[in-house]
Structure formats: C-alpha cells, structure tokens
Amino acid sequence: MEVAVKGRQWATGLLVLAALSLPAQAQAQDVGVELGARVGFGVPIGKASEEGADLSEVISGQFPLWLDLGIRADRVFVGGYFQYGLGLVGSGIDDECEEFEAQADATPDADVDAGCYARNTRLGAQLHYHFGAPERPDPWLGFGAGYEWTTLTVWAEAGDEELKMRTSVKGFEYLNLQGGVDFPLGPTTALGPFFTWTLSRFDSASLDCSGDCGDIQGLEADIDEKAMHYWLFFGARFSFFP
C-alpha cells in the first residue's frame, strides 16, 4: 500500500512538472516569419567558361542587395533568398568602356551619352541553424542552392534615340555555404556579420538588344566548355523576427 501511495505521488508530481513546463516549451518553439536584409561586397573566383577569361575580368566585384524571407521555428530558419548585385566592370573590358564613353563625349554637335555596367542576380532556397540563446549573441550556419545570372550592358543615348545591348550568362548555383553571428538589438531584431561562399556554373549565354538596334539580332546558345566559378560574400545582415 505504501509503495502504491508513493507511486501515485511521483506520478502526480511528474504531471504537475510537465504542466508547468509546457508554457516554457511552447515559448521556445515559437514559429513565425523572419525577414533579413544584407549588404556587403562580393568577390568572384573562376571562369565563366573554360575557354573564356576569368570572371573577374568581366565583373571585378559587386555590392549585393540581399533579402532573406522564410519561416523561423526556434533554432531553424527555412526560406528563400533574392540578391541583386551592383557590379564593378572588370579590367578586361574597362578600357573599351572608357573609350566608348570618351567617343560619345567627343561627338560634335550632338547630345550623346554612353556607358557600361554589370549586374549579378541570384535567387534560391536556404536553411539556417542557430546555436545561440534568446537575447544573446547568436552564431548560425546555413546552406542553400538556386540560380544565378550575370549581365553586362552597353548603352548609348542620342537625343530621343536609345540603344542597349546586354550580354548575359546564367546557370545553377549548386551550393552556397553561409555563416554569421546575430547580435540582438531588441526582442525582435538583430544585426551582425555574415559570410557566404557559392559554387556555381554558367550553362548558357545570350545577347539581346533594345531600342534602335537596326540589324542586330538576339542570340542564345549553350556554353560548350563549362567551368565552375565561385563568389565570396561578406558584410552585415539585419534580421527581423516579429
């Protein structure tokens, strides 16, 4: 009889302890939408194709404007990313672009303007795992995959006439590895450094024209001698978890 009474007391105690712990567990497993924004700098490594020049000769670097959006459940974030990078024209074509701009400026008796710019766009899915505790510095690691395209645009304007020629290369981003530390700014916001390394390959190239193109035709073709290339990104990430 005494053993049975003690058994019931232990069972009652465990039930009370479980009931008391439920609110804390529910709070720890909060689920909601997380929004992140990143800025920084990206450095290219590798080639657009085996027979082509280094990617850095086309776009020597970029300033990424990067958005993260997904679901955060306790330590795990699952969602997507979109990045639009403002590129720096590489050394392989910088001289030609400067000469093109100089010729436009030297055109007599005409209001002519011209230039070149490069852009890099990436989008895909990602997963992060957070190691920190609430209201403390929060280290995290992640990975993802998606799609990437890089575009070089040459443009010219003369009065009401405009010409834009775009050369693009695009392909899959097979893997990106990410990491960083979130330092809390408040209960729902954080700011901290991040890094990202990507592994990608361009599969196709295209040329298109808009404006006063004359006989210029659009072209698109697969890249025969494909090559792997990489981006190394670093900068600051702001996150908001309502």
Number of domains within the chain = 1
Give me the chain's average pLDDT, please: 85
In a domain, 211, yes or no: yes
What pLDDT is stored for residue 111 in this prediction? 73
In a domain, 13, yes or no: no
Tens digits of per-residue pLDDT, 32-76? 999 999 999 999 999 988 888 899 999 999 999 999 999 999 899
In a domain, 3, yes or no: no
Is the pTM here over 0.75, yes or no?
A: yes
In a domain, 83, yes or no: yes
DSSP labels for 126-186? EEEEE---TTS-EEEEEEEEEEEEEEEEEEEEETTEEEEEEEEEEEEEEEEEEEEEEEESS
Location of structure tokens 């040329």? 207
Asked if residue 1 has pLDDT above 70, the reply is no
Beta partners for residue 169, in sequence order: 150, 205
Q: Which residues contact 230 (CB under 8 A, 6 or more apart)?
A: 44, 45, 46, 197, 198, 199, 200
In a domain, 67, yes or no: yes
In a domain, 163, yes or no: yes
What pLDDT is stored for residue 19 in this prediction? 45
CATH classification at residue 149: 2.40.160.20
Which range marks the domain in which residue 67 is found? Answer: 31-240
In a domain, 18, yes or no: no
In a domain, 25, yes or no: no
Asked if residue 170 has pLDDT above 90, the reply is yes
Tens digits of per-residue pLDDT, 63-111? 999 999 999 998 999 999 999 999 999 888 877 787 777 776 667 656 7
